[in-house]
Structure 1
Amino acid sequence: MKAQVLYGIDNMKYVEVNDPRPKAGEALIKVRKCGICGSDVPRVFKTGAHNMPIVPGHEFMGIVEKCDDNPEIVGKRVGVFPLIPCMKCRQCKSRHYEMCENYNYLGSRCDGGFGEYVCAPLWNLLPIPDEVTDDEAAMLEPMCVAVHALRKLGLVGDGFEAETEKNIVICGLGTIGLLVAMLLKDAGYRNVFFIGNKNVQKEMIKQVGYSEDHFCDVRYGAPSSFVNEKTDGNGADYYLECIGRSESYAQAVNLTSPLGKVMLVGNPASDMELPRNVYWKILRNQMTLMGTWNSSYPDDWNYALERLATWHKSEQAFSPTMLITHRFDLEHMQEGLQIMRKKSEEYIKIMVDVG
């Protein structure tokens, strides 16, 4: 098969490799779509993967090509939860699989979706209903990262009634931040405000259904003034930091109300530093700081699938596929990686059409 193989840092090649062979409990999947994640950029160009050579890519879907253990799923479309838990550690036994102490991971520790075929455990496969498109199925992984953060905050969930007047701020409008915006709009929240720095982000916010005056472009205005104006000086009840930089971390604390909650979503770009005055504000305002990583499987994934199916049946005008700004085939996908690395064009989600 053809695949993009990472042999070392900044050494990725489109080559012919042996077809993978599924072991007991696994299925062979013919990959159809695979998104490029922001984490793929440092993995390819800066840090490398945990194991190399490796086929990266963890945001993917495909069709089951072979499965001796369950022939009934052959020919079926599936989404893939990329984290492979050990099922033995304390976290796994508590069903917190995303916090497994000895996990494997498709695309960073073992071969992933930037190839024509991939093997994955049956446990990690989620059947895709007919109304959900291939692109949407490939975006389930980032969508579920957004779902997980919001469910941990208690802002969405099955049978949950939203307190729609709460002030919510999202800082950082990449794929995850915009998916958070979409899910909050779906849940009925009105006072949601956004901090970004790209024209394409503002346009996406408008497409999701929020007015332009809910968007603060940091190139032209100060987030502190913006949030204070929109919340009558009260600050955010909930603040989702989706960047991962010290300055945005401090800003999150400063713009959150007493007894408010800050959800740290963005992967850190470097060491994080916390100024003393910011630390004092956390203490004196009795704030809650929370971290989130990955998603809870299968709960978050089932919730995301249910919302996608509902959106198709309703008059909702949005879908995760709105966020796809670029497409490449498997052979030329490194052009997409370079766009993300160099920020040479405005982008949100770059999708690879594999097969």
Structure 2
Amino acid sequence: MTQPGTIEFHETDIPEPGERQVQIKIKKIGVCGSDIHVNHGTHPYTSFPVVQGHEVSAEVTKLGTGVTEYSEGDRVTVQPQVVCGRCFPCRNGMYHVCEDLKVMGFQTTGMASDYFVVDADWLTRLPEGITYDEGAMVEPLAVAVHAVRRIRDLEGKNVLVIGGGPIGNLVAQTAKAFGAEKVVVSELSKVRLEMAEEVGLHTINSKEEDLDAGINRHFGDRKADVIFECVGSSYTVAQAIEKARKGSTVVVVGVVSALTEVNMGFVQDHELTVMGSAMYQSSDFDGAVKLITEKKVQLFPLITDHVDFEAYADAYTLIEDEKDRVMKVIIDME
């Protein structure tokens, strides 16, 4: 992407793996909301030109020296972070919030290419039962796993998810898989509400029903123990805090690009816990693969469209023009 909305294709040499690196052949690429921000030129941490692609599935095609845990032909996905390994977060088990974090497709080269070379430590193996389409969904599912794990124990909890897009849907499914008593998705889009119901979730159509009334209908006066905000707008962040029951927790999962006014007096008086959730770690990728393998989440209903690699820009057009229908667009590499 040379500038917002402009994609060019170039023939390049096939990259060779170095020490502890693996050459992979990309099979599928998922397109997400952050990619759309780049396409608009509004992503705050991305400059041009940039090769996108951070949700992928792939086949191992060549091993660099020192790689013994993978073999040619293995099916994998990639954790797309590049970290410094030296800062305080990296040294203390929090590399996913590295002080110099770079993400493939945003601050460093992404994987929208036939072949790519990556450090072996950033690969996650895909069991044979997982398709390449599902493999490209491991990354967004890992976002959901990480967010849900921010709550140490969801067993028996009431959960409200604000936003029924791909991440919101996956957070809701993951919360249910982690033992939540009741999971409800609040959403404006009728199609997304139907999709949430298709995968076994309860819903509130917040365009037609007052959110307070919907919360009371589903949860009674106990309301929600945990609210996951999965839209990323200033309005829905404020809404999540406003609708939170005293003593409950709000987890901000959506990427909020604008400054947001928060009623801190309300947070203090209601003794709320408000926390963020950013990206994931390798254990979250493993958790995502486990959920898929154990069939505790449904991914195929979320994949609404496929686009050929050579028509990459059409994925953005689909998402823009049919945003009420389109959930996840997958780029087919072959």
The TM-score with structure 2 as length reference comes to 0.93
2:23 alignment partner AA: L
1:38 corresponds in structure 2 to: 33
Does structure 2 retain, via aligned residues, the 8 Å contact 1:144–1:300? yes
After TM superposition, the structure 1 = structure 2 runs for residues 113-128 of structure 1, keeping only pairs within 5 Å, are 113-128=111-126
Determine if the alignment matches structure 1 residue 61 to structure 2 residue 49.
no
3-state secondary structure, aligned to 2:29: strand
Does structure 1 retain, via aligned residues, the 8 Å contact 2:191–2:324? no
Question: Which of 283, 300, 319 lines up with 2:268 in the alignment?
Answer: 283
2:238 corresponds in structure 1 to: 250
After TM superposition, the structure 1 = structure 2 runs for residues 269-280 of structure 1, keeping only pairs within 5 Å, are 269-274=257-262, 278-280=263-265
After TM superposition, the structure 1 = structure 2 runs for residues 76-91 of structure 1, keeping only pairs within 5 Å, are 76-91=74-89
Question: Which of 280, 288, 292 lines up with 1:308 in the alignment?
Answer: 292
After TM superposition, the structure 1 = structure 2 runs for residues 173-322 of structure 1, keeping only pairs within 5 Å, are 173-210=164-201, 214-274=202-262, 278-296=263-281, 298-311=282-295, 318-322=297-301
The RMSD of aligned alpha carbons is: 1.9
Determine if the alignment matches structure 1 residue 163 to structure 2 residue 158.
no
Q: Which runs of 5+ in 1 are unaligned?
A: 1-5, 156-161
Q: Which runs of 5+ in 2 are unaligned?
A: none
Q: Give the whole-Å Cα distance in 2 for the aligned partners of 1:93 and 1:344.
A: 41
4+ residue runs of structure 1 moved beyond 6 angstroms?
A: none
Identity %: 28
3-state secondary structure, aligned to 2:41: helix
Does structure 2 retain, via aligned residues, the 8 Å contact 1:185–1:208? no
Q: Give the whole-Å Cα distance in 2 for the aligned partners of 1:178 and 1:88.
A: 35
Deviation, structure 1 residue 269: 4.2
Q: Give the whole-Å Cα distance in 2 for the aligned partners of 1:32 and 1:21.
A: 18
Q: Give the whole-Å Cα distance in 1 for the aligned partners of 2:196 and 2:37.
A: 27
3-state secondary structure, aligned to 2:287: helix
Does structure 1 retain, via aligned residues, the 8 Å contact 2:155–2:178? no
Give the aligned length. 331
Q: Give the whole-Å Cα distance in 2 for the aligned partners of 1:217 and 1:18.
A: 51
Deviation, structure 1 residue 344: 5.3
Can you list the C-alpha shifts for 1:303-354, whole angstroms capped at 9, x where unaligned?
222222222xxxx6x5222210011110112111112234455111111111
Using the TM superposition, name which of 256-265 and 195-204 deviates more: 195-204
Q: Give the whole-Å Cα distance in 2 for the aligned partners of 1:286 and 1:342.
A: 42
Determine if the alignment matches structure 1 residue 109 to structure 2 residue 88.
no
2:134 corresponds in structure 1 to: 136
1:198 alignment partner AA: S
Determine if the alignment matches structure 1 residue 146 to structure 2 residue 144.
yes
